[in-house]
Amino acid sequence: MKINESIKDFNKLPVFVNQHLSFLDTDNIKFIVAAFTFILLDLGTFPLLYPKIPIIYYIAIPLLVFIHLWALRILIKNPFSTQFESLIYIGVLGVVGTICYFMLVQKTAYMNLGIRNLFYYVISTVLYLFIIGILAYYQIQRYSNINKITVQSPQRERAKKSSSKYGFIIAIFPAVGYFIAQRMMKQSDTAMYALIYLVFFLFGVIMAYLAAKCLHQYAFMKANMRFVRYQKPTKKAMKQAEAKGKNLIIK
């Protein structure tokens, strides 16, 4: 995880490594935290909690209360003072979201699709854990051979082409999903709930990706602090804060 000490220049690192060593834009931190918390996570909150299933309720409520209080803390603080905190927050949010959407997937299967077979719940749990493992492994592997990659290396070019390829797949996914949804919802209620099941499963995978990416990024940045560049407010913003008796802490 730690970059070789012989590499001194930040600009000599591949672009994807530079990005992994960079904070979220301070102008967008609050928007990102709010959007991920109150939209991506909370979209599944109501169907998760109602109708009430005690074991889900008692697991979800403490997690949701904790993550929402943390989000409010970040939203009221100066973004320059929460650069590292915002990053690890999104990672933990991903963990909470992964757990909540996993429970929601299983609840949908049980209550709406009528699945009672224990074998399904074992297999689906193993599949979910496998996907999480793959996402974590991808992050570890992606940044494990940095010392062998230079700015001009063919490996960097292949990584770039690979990103473009997957970007295209991600771009066409909503259109394909919309087409499938229109076809399925014409069939039956069961098909509609099956689609909802798949959407919740997809959101769970997105949350798992956020957890793997941001928690790894936090650890990676902490291990390579010599390359980390804090974003700083402009002199004008500093003077305005001082005029109001405020001290802008950067961390």
Cis peptide upstream of residue 174 (ω within 30 degrees of 0): no
d(C-alpha 214, C-alpha 17), whole Å: 13
Domain around 66? 10-155+166-228
State the burial class of residue 79 (Cβ atoms within 10 Å of its Cβ: 0-12, 13-18, 19+). buried
* 222 in any annotated domain: yes
* 251 in any annotated domain: no
* 174 in any annotated domain: yes
* 98 in any annotated domain: yes
* 70 in any annotated domain: yes
Instruction: For the chain, give the percent of residues with pLDDT over 90.
Output: 50
Give the pLDDT of residue 173.
Answer: 45
Looking at the structure of the chain, the number of domains it has is: 1
The pLDDT-based confidence of 137 (bands split at 50, 70, 90) is very high
Measure Cα distances from 220 to 22, 149, 213, 214, 228 in Å. Answer: 11, 17, 10, 10, 10
d(C-alpha 31, C-alpha 220), whole Å: 24
Q: What is the per-residue pLDDT across 14-71, written as a single tens digit (0 to 9) for each?
A: 888 888 999 999 999 999 999 999 999 998 888 999 888 999 999 999 999 999 999 9
Q: What is the per-residue pLDDT across 83-133, written as a single tens digit (0 to 9) for each?
A: 999 999 999 999 999 999 999 999 999 998 889 999 999 999 999 999 999
* 100 in any annotated domain: yes
Mean per-residue pLDDT of the chain: 82
Q: Rg (Cα) of the chain, in Å, rounded? A: 21
- pTM metric for this prediction: 0.81
Helix axis angle for 83-111 and 54-76, nearest 10°, is 160
d(C-alpha 82, C-alpha 233), whole Å: 13
* 241 in any annotated domain: no
* 234 in any annotated domain: no
